[in-house]
Amino acid sequence: MTGRVLEVVEAGVVPYAEALEWQRALAQARIEGRLANDVLLLLEHPAVVTLGRNSEAEHLLSRDGIEVFEIERGGDVTFHGPGQLVGYPIIDLTGHQRDLHWYLRTLEQALIDALAGLGISATRNPGYTGVWTGNRKIASIGIHVKQWVTWHGFALNVTTDLSQFQRIVPCGIAGVEMTSVERELGAGSREQSLWAQSVRAVIRGFERAFRASARPGRPHADALAP
């Protein structure tokens, strides 16, 4: 383990628009040197669909009763909602590797390690970004980088209502089957404890993949304090 510190903020349920502005502010603070350490925001969104820079209009099949945001991250269309663990790493890659492919593969590895800790065998799928178990996709990844500082990140389905993905062509991959931690572990998994276990597993996965020590971060208004 190196001397790197990863400040982890468990923020609970945060509306998408608020989380988007929060990420942007943190990233700018990291760029300007007002944020001393990398940060990992872990949260949950009310139901929302986001369209990345590479999204195609026909991949949004239904917007009935749901907010839709066009944003700066890479990738196509995705769904966020209750039961999905969303992670926004604000990481200065100059302290790691100035290599976007390395960063994407390291994000995937952090989630693969996290899922292994939960008893789920997960892998990459050559040609696609994200994490899969068998032929089912369990985590999506989409990032944005400015001056080697990252924001946006990943979405891991924990107890997500998978029927919500029928609104979209997830990540623009026709015929993809989405899954969740709950589905893969089967009957008997308790929703509340499953969420807490998933959060802990993701934090451990990030510590290992990014060779950093996690510690509790400062939430919201305090996060930008010098």
Catalytic residue positions? Answer: 171
> Token match 């993905």: residue?
165
Q: Phi and psi of 185, rounded to 5°?
A: -80, -20
Residue 109 burial by Cβ neighbours in a 10 Å radius (0-12, 13-18, 19+) = middle
Q: How far apart are CA 165 and CA 163, in angstroms?
A: 5
Q: How far apart are CA 186 and CA 198, in angstroms?
A: 15
E-only strand ranges, 102-179: 123-125, 128-133, 136-146, 149-157, 177-178
For residues 151-182, one letter each, b for 16 or more C-beta atoms within 10 angstroms of the residue's C-beta and e for the rest, the string is: bbbbbbbbbbebebbebbbbbbbeebebbbbb
Amino acid at 14: V
